[in-house]
Structure 1
Amino acid sequence: MNPRPVRTRTSAGAVVRGNSVDHFWEDAHRCKVSGCLLEYNSAVNSYAVVPAGTENDPPHRDMFQSFRGDGSFTPVNDVVLRGNVFTSRKGTRYGKIPFQYNGKYTIQGIGAFDGPYRNWTIENNVVQVEVGLAMGLYGMNDSRIVNNTVVPRDPATASEIRLTNQKDGTPSSGDIIRNNLARTFNTGAAVNTQHSNNITVGTDYARYFADHPGGDLHLKPGSPAINGGTDRNAPTVDADRKQRSAPFDVGAYEF
């Protein structure tokens, strides 16, 4: 059986909760309107199905994507992304369909590309993909990006949380970036933004995680992320819906 595109497209006020998208080749989830909630979903095993004629520049796919596509830059507000676990691949199932295409194709993580966006909550998400753009937020304003874990899927080495300008050059503004555990941060383009208690992991995964090569990003005993967070603007439960205790840990999982 060949994997088919599996998409969750939300409408205003929609709730998408507890779904598993497994073995797919398009975006796993999309939200292009205001007021949608996506929480405690998972997506894993994205395949490189490249349409004819796009071999030199294959279209990118995303675990979650918000975009306009019509050049209108209509605001998308009041979106919640909470407790989702996005992993580019775990094992193999369809031997003739690759996860990558000539090294040019591999799925991206959480992408919001056509702001302005306002009043988003992005918390307790786990993102493991194999490209640098693991979380890309373009024109994100007055939003909370808190307690996410964003590191590359082994054996990849690049992964970042990017908060940058809207496509017309308007800077992202007024955001809160706290308690995130990431390979690296690229958030310098944002203005009037609060940063605190974030940890740059670099490539020292064995120091932080229970089993990074195996895809287990729960914190290990002695992890520097334990007790390294703040409860300010932070969720009181983690990605497993387990109660956090002060001082909060950094990342999606409480030890």
Structure 2
Amino acid sequence: MTAHTLKLTSSFLVFLAVALMAIPPALARDHFVDPASVGTADGSKASPWRSLQDILNEHVVLAGDRVVLAGGSYGRLVIQDKMMSDVTSVVVADGQQAIFENVEIMGSANWVLSGLTVTSAGLRKLEEKYHVRIDKKSRNIKIEEFTIYTVEDISDWSADDWNEKALDGIFSEADYTDIRNNNIRNVNFGISTLGVHSSVVGNNIENFSGDGLRGLGDHSLFEENVVKNCYQVNPNHSDGFQSWSTGADGRPGTGVIKDVTLRRNLILNYEDFNQRYACKLEGIGLFDGVYEDWTIENNIIAVDNWHGISVFGARNVRIKNNTVMDIDYFPPGPAAITIISVAGDDPREASLVANNIANEIKIEGDGVERFGNIEIDDLDDVFVDIDDGDFRLPENSEVIDRGVPDPDMKIDYFGNPRPVGKRLDVGAVEKQ
């Protein structure tokens, strides 16, 4: 090959490379699905596909695509072995209700599912436990604005109905899940996350017989969730939020869970003092393990139990500006903040209990700082009207301007600025 030929070849290769770069990548596509569709379909808005499951199984949906669902019943949804290189979404058309029996995501990544309704309608199938399940081989999954319920109305349910029919809301073993702004009601357990880097934000969990929230993964966030109305229908000791660690041998209490934040959550035992099967709800229960670098702040917890916030095995756990009260004046209780430090820890890993309201503060171990806390028995000094769901701080409460300054505490439970007035108010709410 001559030098002249080499020069021409090199020039052609450069031209070819530039030409290929100029070709745009395949554009993401919208796929429309309507279970009532008839006739020939091409996935357009005018001619929608009939089956979401079929177009997933047949690899019609590609990375970066969006699937738009019309109203109707879709049965069971399984997203399996769909590791997408770009965010791929399934959404519900405005003003529509797309109803599923359950949703299962396995071995898949980079999916956003938004606006689905998932209900078993009380027809629990053998060994079925979850309305929505995400397995540990999946990652980067977002579940948002779902409506999830076992049945619409549980007012006439017996204990047997609860135990035989109620499914869990959302169960995720995956890393990097975002579970946000879902409405979950009439279920066994509400939301459980086992993977690391889980975000559970803005969810409403109402009427449950297990735990409201469970978080077992490092580097996770639980924020602005409402957990209320617990039903005692079996021997389970229900918690608003529960965690435990496991070591390499899989035994509870043998590992460490690190860097978890619980912030601005409401945990309420019940709204109706005459609620049937009302349980003795534990608030935040961290009983088995070592809990390292946790932050628990600006939460409102009203329960009928002595476990308001309990951390057994704390290392650098920060419990600040929470309001923890017993919802009635009868046993069990009173509702307490209890923290037990890990023996022999470095002083730099000391935990902190500061500016909290509780019926009782109980601290064990040398590695815990405490200041600015107030023990109160009277609900009327903490809430304007808990019976009516008004959790604002009343006028002339003794906790106003009684907190110790904290430059990191800039907002309260409601998102209002703090401090207002001379000093920080104690507890989760700042008087505006």
Task: Tell me the TM-score normalised to structure 2 length.
Answer: 0.51
Selected match of 1:84 from 255, 265, 276: 265
Residues 254 and 29 of structure 1, relative CA distance in 2, 3 Å threshold: same
1:125 and 1:48 mapped to 2: Cα distance? 23
Deviation at 1:207, TM superposition (A): 3.2
2:407 and 2:315 mapped to 1: Cα distance? 16
Alignment of 1:74-223 (within 5 A): 74-91=255-272, 97-100=276-279, 106-156=280-330, 158-164=334-340, 170=343, 174-187=350-363, 189-201=364-376, 203-223=377-397
1:15 aligns with 2:191: no
Identity level (%): 29
Deviation at 1:216, TM superposition (A): 3.4
Residues 171 and 81 of structure 1, relative CA distance in 2, 3 Å threshold: farther
Deviation at 1:213, TM superposition (A): 4.7
2:229 and 2:302 mapped to 1: Cα distance? 11
1:192 and 1:68 mapped to 2: Cα distance? 20
Structure 1 ranges of 4+ moved more than 4 A? 212-215
2:414 and 2:366 mapped to 1: Cα distance? 32
Residue 227 of structure 1 aligns with an amino acid whose one-letter code is D
Residues 233 and 182 of structure 1, relative CA distance in 2, 3 Å threshold: farther
- Is 1:65–1:110's contact at 8 Å kept on the other side of the alignment? yes
Deviation at 1:7, TM superposition (A): 2.4
Residue 205 of structure 2 aligns with an amino acid whose one-letter code is V
1:99 and 1:65 mapped to 2: Cα distance? 19
Residues 81 and 31 of structure 1, relative CA distance in 2, 3 Å threshold: same
**1:243 aligned partner:** 417
Deviation at 1:133, TM superposition (A): 1.1
What whole-Å deviation, never above 9, does each CA across 1:107-137 have from its counterpart, x for those lacking one? 2100111221110000000101101111110
- Is 2:253–2:289's contact at 8 Å kept on the other side of the alignment? no
What whole-Å deviation, never above 9, does each CA across 1:176-210 have from its counterpart, x for those lacking one? 111101111111x1323211111011x23323431
SS state at 1:151 partner: strand
- Is 2:245–2:257's contact at 8 Å kept on the other side of the alignment? no
1:24 aligns with 2:208: yes
2:219 and 2:365 mapped to 1: Cα distance? 23
Alignment of 1:43-58 (within 5 A): 43-50=227-234, 58=235
1:171 and 1:91 mapped to 2: Cα distance? 45
**1:59 aligned partner:** 236
- Is 2:210–2:236's contact at 8 Å kept on the other side of the alignment? no
Residues 92 and 221 of structure 1, relative CA distance in 2, 3 Å threshold: closer
CA RMSD, 1 decimal: 2.1
What whole-Å deviation, never above 9, does each CA across 1:34-87 have from its counterpart, x for those lacking one? 11100000111000111xxxxxxx220100000136235210000000000000
Relative to structure 2, which stretch is displaced further, 73-82 or 237-246? 237-246
**1:4 aligned partner:** 187
Q: Give 5+ residue unaligned stretches, structure 2.
A: 1-150, 155-185
Residue 75 of structure 1 aligns with an amino acid whose one-letter code is V
SS state at 2:398 partner: coil
What whole-Å deviation, never above 9, does each CA across 1:128-160 have from its counterpart, x for those lacking one? 110111111000111210000000113445110
- Is 2:353–2:373's contact at 8 Å kept on the other side of the alignment? yes
SS state at 2:270 partner: coil
1:34 aligns with 2:218: yes
**2:245 aligned partner:** 68
Deviation at 1:214, TM superposition (A): 4.3
Residues 152 and 234 of structure 1, relative CA distance in 2, 3 Å threshold: farther
**1:103 aligned partner:** none
Q: Which has the larger radius of gyration?
A: 2
Structure with the bigger percentage of helix: 2
Residue 238 of structure 1 aligns with an amino acid whose one-letter code is D
Q: Which has the higher contact order (CA 8 A, sep 6+)?
A: 1
Residue 65 of structure 1 aligns with an amino acid whose one-letter code is Q
SS state at 1:206 partner: helix
Paired residues in the alignment total 236
- Is 2:189–2:209's contact at 8 Å kept on the other side of the alignment? yes
